[in-house]
Copies of this chain bind each other. A is one copy, B any other.
């Protein structure tokens, strides 16, 4: 999608090589896991050589760690453009929930990297300060959204922003992460294209119902 802007005319392109390696490595790690991915396979799919992987990233774990960071960075970038401040709190929360659900669904490689990292008990993410800083702002935004809704009297006063973020994440993440086992057991119906919208609406509804005061719900008259 977003390729580098200033490609050098000469034959050297260190940044390009790095990015090429990272792109291929993301593909391979997210598909096969840390121990499942093969350095030789990654090397073969880049336009450079195995030697360069070690030159730039040291070892397999170093490469994996950089890929993990890159996955978070790439995904959190998109979330900035939501402009929730311009909407009233209910609209904003509805939009946020649907966006998160949709966005996770669009980024299976990211989801898989996070799954893999959790299998490893988060031992590589622990080395990364930047990932933490990348994600914190999401809570603050949600916090201020909640505060607005509480000031307006439409949201319950005892809702915790972190917990709500957790709930939205859970519903959105699981939809991608557990699709294989869940749909083997219970069928594909929830993942048909038409069901996607429905599910997304229901997730948002669940969140809004949880957060809203009863009066506000009754006023909006949904069930």
Contact = CB atoms under 8 A, between A and B. Distances in A.
Interface string A159-178: 00011011101110111011
A199 interface: yes
Contact of A163 (B112, B119, B190): B190
Interface in A73-123: 112, 114-122
Interface in A161-206: 162-163, 165-167, 169-171, 173-175, 177-187, 189-190, 199, 202-203, 205-206
A125 interface: yes
A149 interface: no
Chain A interface mostly? helix
B119 A184 contact: no
Interface stretch (A10-18, A20-28, A32-40): A32-40
Contact of A35 (B32, B180, B203): B32
A158 B222 CA distance: 12
Given A119-B116, A131-B185, A205-B210, A170 B166 contact: no
B173 A125 contact: no
Contacts of A7: none
Give the top 7 A-B pairs by smallest Cβ distance, nearest first.
Answer: A122-B180, A170-B174, A35-B36, A206-B210, A135-B185, A35-B35, A209-B209
Interface of A: 32-36, 112, 114-122, 125-126, 131-132, 135-136, 139, 156, 158, 162-163, 165-167, 169-171, 173-175, 177-187, 189-190, 199, 202-203, 205-206, 209-210, 213-214, 217-218, 223
22 contacts: A33-B36, A35-B35, A112-B119, A116-B119, A118-B181, A120-B180, A121-B180, A122-B180, A125-B181, A125-B185, A136-B185, A156-B223, A158-B223, A166-B182, A169-B178, A170-B171, A170-B175, A171-B171, A173-B174, A173-B178, A174-B174, A206-B206
